[in-house]
Structure 1
């Protein structure tokens, strides 16, 4: 039993959110207008140790390098550039809400050509644009890449992803997003996980804290808060007070399965009806061992390959039928699966089958 317990601890991660645990509203929702804006740019990384783009496969890198040198006063017309220390990259960043001119933000850098690594590279001044086409920040600086690449004449080893990296504080904000927060009359609170019960609790918590009717539930994911009943107030201070209120969120029962890692995450509210489970496995092994038949030296004939195939069919002993009681709790469900004595990978198949039979009362999410 201890062996099966180790399996379940390793590959069956059980999330048990305690019932009644209070959570701040700021951790459950977003406030309308208080969000970041995505930025993107196309730039050039220089200073690589021979791991940059090959100009034959990435001609856009050569064109961009030539344009950069021309702007710096270097005439490269009709010159054949053969540098291996340059790479074309896409630069991404998020402009935080209420970011002011001169503040700095971090950026991500990703190679788009055939560069092998961005380690040790420096991003040249790159303008970052938003969806409206305007430039909101300019990025430049040394790249911190999170991988390593080693290559020889006949082999190459890569650890991580050396073709991506970051520049902490690598972009300076040049344009502000105009938004007068102090002039708004109301604000919408958008729940990250829409739920009518949670939205109603958010409404009740706000109205109870302020002692008047300020919040109204619009739908399962939106609560509208009006500032009109507060008179002359600073909306920023009201939002700061609201986002720290504590409520007890409701959530749907879920079972999340990750096939790649064999991970199973079971929520606290998952229930299972009375069901019987039997599990067994069938193994079919086919092996080829061809034999070469060669005639005697003075005999007439030719050398031929005679195929030999060995087929083995083996059925491992199953567990018979095991019964899991009706409307069990999370601990009972885990204990029941553990008592079946099956491998963690087989537990995934069992959970899918129980859900297909209608006995697993939860959303089954397969990734």
Structure 2
């Protein structure tokens, strides 16, 4: 399958998926509890034991001298040590919520100097600090590096992946616990991953209904605060609050329909079109491609002896060709699904569809937000 056909197939797949009705989803998949979050840690250290792939930068030499001084070893200031097996590195990690002292976390080690590779190196004891400047973990251990590099005598070189970045599984020992906001106050706040007023109201109604609360009678357990947050009354007892959270996070409800939006990735040619996007009457000139979309109203009348009602049905007709005419024409109510399928039938490139969508937005004929990433 060609790249063009693959990209257009992705578009049509997204349209088919959007065609289904919203399905109930768990609260834990759509929202998080305020105060329950991870924290970023960072530190600076030295990797030793490199097979000549280290560096001789000034800050590496200074760090090396400081390390030796901490062990009571003083070097002559006039002597420059040869430390091609040492590299200065930045170490970072993510501290998950509720993790306790004595547990371990993974760390990532990245060269900050001129070291060509960290393969085979060992990270020496490195303190990892949080945003408040406190030490929350200490990292140390042997690196696992997936990349490698090779260089010839004539200066030619080859690098696979990234040899200057490595990881240490369970390489940091947690020394300090981060206080959690889960047990504070009489309420919990659920924050939606995608803010939406309708979804916040649906989330609040689902919790009240499942727990027997009735806002109409003045008794409400869950109350929407804004488009992103819902405040929920919770027990103060630690054990009861944990059980309460475990219960409500598995409640299911139907979130609101997503906004009418078209997302275009101009680098890859990927186009995703929401189900609610609609087109207004417009005409566009684009190359030699002609797409004509029209709708005919037909009356469906039941047999005189049969029971039923007379209804008006709509029949959409799409005509596609690559003649010299250059006009896109479509009537009210046509969906982007029909337009994309029409363009796909003649094998047009994703770039053509991007240009058409951008022109539709500028003309005010695209009912939806156009996002280019």
Q: CA deviation at 1:269?
A: 2.8
Question: What does residue 313 of structure 1 align with?
Answer: none
Gaps of 5+ in 1: 282-315
Instruction: Indicate how the Cα distance of structure 1 residues 267 and 51 shifts in structure 2: closer, same or farther if over 3 A, else same.
Output: farther
Instruction: Indicate how the Cα distance of structure 1 residues 10 and 21 shifts in structure 2: closer, same or farther if over 3 A, else same.
Output: closer
How do 1:89-128 and structure 2 match up within 5 A? Answer: 89-128=89-128
Does 2:366 align with 1:353? no
Question: What does residue 294 of structure 1 align with?
Answer: none
Preserved CA contact (<8 Å) 2:183 2:238? no
Does 2:254 align with 1:254? no
Question: What does residue 51 of structure 2 align with?
Answer: 49
Question: What does residue 299 of structure 1 align with?
Answer: none
Preserved CA contact (<8 Å) 1:195 1:220? yes
Q: CA deviation at 1:125?
A: 1.0
Does 2:194 align with 1:184? no
Q: Distance in 1 between matches of 2:128 and 2:5?
A: 52
Question: What does residue 166 of structure 2 align with?
Answer: 165
Question: What does residue 38 of structure 1 align with?
Answer: 40
Does 2:5 align with 1:23? no
Question: What does residue 313 of structure 2 align with?
Answer: none
User: How much is the aligned-residue C-alpha RMSD, in angstroms?
Assistant: 2.7
Q: CA deviation at 1:197?
A: 0.5
Instruction: Indicate how the Cα distance of structure 1 residues 324 and 157 shifts in structure 2: closer, same or farther if over 3 A, else same.
Output: farther
Instruction: Indicate how the Cα distance of structure 1 residues 146 and 179 shifts in structure 2: closer, same or farther if over 3 A, else same.
Output: same
What is the CA deviation profile of residues 149-186 of structure 1, one whole-angstrom value per residue up to 9, with x for unaligned ones? 22223212222222222222111110112347445311
Question: What does residue 197 of structure 1 align with?
Answer: 198
Q: Distance in 2 between matches of 1:253 and 1:91?
A: 42
Q: Distance in 2 between matches of 1:178 and 1:196?
A: 31
Q: CA deviation at 1:340?
A: 5.2
Preserved CA contact (<8 Å) 1:149 1:156? yes
Q: Distance in 1 between matches of 2:3 and 2:222?
A: 53
Instruction: Indicate how the Cα distance of structure 1 residues 121 and 352 shifts in structure 2: closer, same or farther if over 3 A, else same.
Output: farther
Instruction: Indicate how the Cα distance of structure 1 residues 268 and 87 shifts in structure 2: closer, same or farther if over 3 A, else same.
Output: farther
Question: What does residue 295 of structure 1 align with?
Answer: none
What is the CA deviation profile of residues 40-61 of structure 1, one whole-angstrom value per residue up to 9, with x for unaligned ones? 11111122232222x2xx3111
Q: Distance in 2 between matches of 1:318 and 1:118?
A: 61
Q: Distance in 2 between matches of 1:172 and 1:97?
A: 15
Q: CA deviation at 1:130?
A: 0.7
TM-score (normalizing by structure 1): 0.81
- Farther-moved stretch of structure 1 (8-17 vs 357-366): 8-17
Instruction: Indicate how the Cα distance of structure 1 residues 159 and 270 shifts in structure 2: closer, same or farther if over 3 A, else same.
Output: farther
Q: Distance in 2 between matches of 1:145 and 1:241?
A: 42
Instruction: Indicate how the Cα distance of structure 1 residues 333 and 173 shifts in structure 2: closer, same or farther if over 3 A, else same.
Output: farther
Q: Distance in 2 between matches of 1:232 and 1:141?
A: 37
Question: What does residue 241 of structure 1 align with?
Answer: 247
Question: What does residue 59 of structure 2 align with?
Answer: 60
Q: CA deviation at 1:323?
A: 3.2
Preserved CA contact (<8 Å) 1:100 1:173? yes
Q: CA deviation at 1:34?
A: 0.8
Question: What does residue 131 of structure 2 align with?
Answer: 131
Gaps of 5+ in 2: 214-219, 289-321
Counterpart selection for 2:222 from 210, 215, 221 = 215
- Farther-moved stretch of structure 1 (325-334 vs 7-16): 7-16
Preserved CA contact (<8 Å) 1:13 1:264? no
What is the CA deviation profile of residues 292-347 of structure 1, one whole-angstrom value per residue up to 9, with x for unaligned ones? xxxxxxxxxxxxxxxxxxxxxxxx98772233454334532420331454222232
Instruction: Indicate how the Cα distance of structure 1 residues 161 and 356 shifts in structure 2: closer, same or farther if over 3 A, else same.
Output: farther
Q: Distance in 1 between matches of 2:162 and 2:238?
A: 53
Instruction: Indicate how the Cα distance of structure 1 residues 10 and 165 shifts in structure 2: closer, same or farther if over 3 A, else same.
Output: farther
